[in-house]
Structure 1
Amino acid sequence: MRNKLLLAGLLLGATPAAQAQHQHQHQMAAMSHATTAGKSMQAVAAPGSPVLAFQRGMDSVMVVMDEGMRRMDGASPTDIDASFAAMMVPHHQGAVDMARLQLLYGKDPALRRLAQSIIAEQQVEIQQMQAWLREHPVPTTSAVPASPAHSHH
């Protein structure tokens, strides 16, 4: 709880540039984790083991989540609200997929309950954000302008 309050205080007091840098660092750390940490851990896991399957699954989830966040389906990069919703959908889906991997391979009862809660709550939030994106479609800028009416003089 103390860490959450500290983080909230830091983010609320930070400038937009500092917040953007923090978000970028978070994304880079996630990308780094997906591409390096998983691979180094896989060298320790026995081939065919549940540990290796879990690690590969997590690496795959991170790659898909990162690509989805970069693609921002359904949003213009200049629309803050749409960008938030479009980036959070794959972020939450990644959390749901990670929680499913925990249910497949994890044994701890408390973490299994947490994983079930993550799946239930974040699926509802994904649906809410997708509905918002459908209600706020991206304005089309590539539409062909209507040709002026030809007049015969």
Structure 2
Amino acid sequence: MKPLKTLSLALLFAGPASFALAQGMDHSNMGGMSMGGMSMDAEAGSASGLPEVCLENADHMAGMSMDMDMSAMMEGMSEGHQAMMANMGAMHNDMMAAMMAEDFDVAFICGMIPHHQGALDMANAALEYAEDEWVKELAQEIVDAQEREIAEMRDWLESR
């Protein structure tokens, strides 16, 4: 299996399992916990500029690590692939921190903001590196939709 396809499958299956695992844990003793490469710390939420309400319970994730060295994974990838993957670790950190909000609706919206930001980052990489015109058009549609949806989610959070 190609490395990028293997990585994509690993992220697809590890993400929901990691979240399910985190939901069932006693969050009071999570220091140094390993979950495969991302680290939950004070920087969580910074990549997508999450509102404070999204980070109010992020300290439950402090010290959690996903042990995934993105720079090592990106070694040997093309410049375009590296641009597409560059913010994946930050996106997952932000999603995990944001989904710790006590109110489920808030947690969902807060987790979706970095998820959509990740889609924006990937689409912007496609706008820069894709060769196929249809891919570029799709990437622009994704940028337009994700920017609009992020603004809607932020407005919803502010109105609560």
TMscore range, shorter length: 0.5 to 0.7
- Provide Cα deviations, 1:17-38, integer angstroms capped at 9, x if missing partner: xxxx996238689x7xxx4788
2:102, 2:69 → 1: CA distance?
32
- 1:128 maps to 152
Match among 127, 147, 153 for residue 103 of structure 1: 127
- 1:69 maps to 95
Runs of 5+ in structure 1 lacking a partner?
1-20, 46-50, 137-153
- Identical-pair percentage: 32
Alignment of 1:1-150 (within 5 A): 24-25=16-17, 35=68, 39-40=72-73, 42-43=75-76, 45=77, 51=78, 53-72=79-98, 77-136=101-160
Q: Which has the larger radius of gyration?
A: 1
RCO comparison, higher one (Cα < 8 Å, 6+)? 2
TM-score by length of 2: 0.54
TM-score by length of 1: 0.56
- Provide Cα deviations, 1:2-60, integer angstroms capped at 9, x if missing partner: xxxxxxxxxxxxxxxxxxx996238689x7xxx478845633x4xxxxx2x22322232
**Do 1:76 and 1:82's aligned partners in 2 also have CA atoms closer than 8 Å?**
no
Residues 26/103 of structure 1: CA separation in 2 closer, same or farther (3 Å cut): farther
Letter in 1 for 2:75: Q
Residues 37/65 of structure 1: CA separation in 2 closer, same or farther (3 Å cut): closer
Runs of 5+ in structure 2 lacking a partner?
1-12, 20-34, 39-67
1:117, 1:66 → 2: CA distance?
23
Count of residues in correspondence between the two structures: 105
- RMSD between aligned residues: 3.2
- 2:56 maps to none
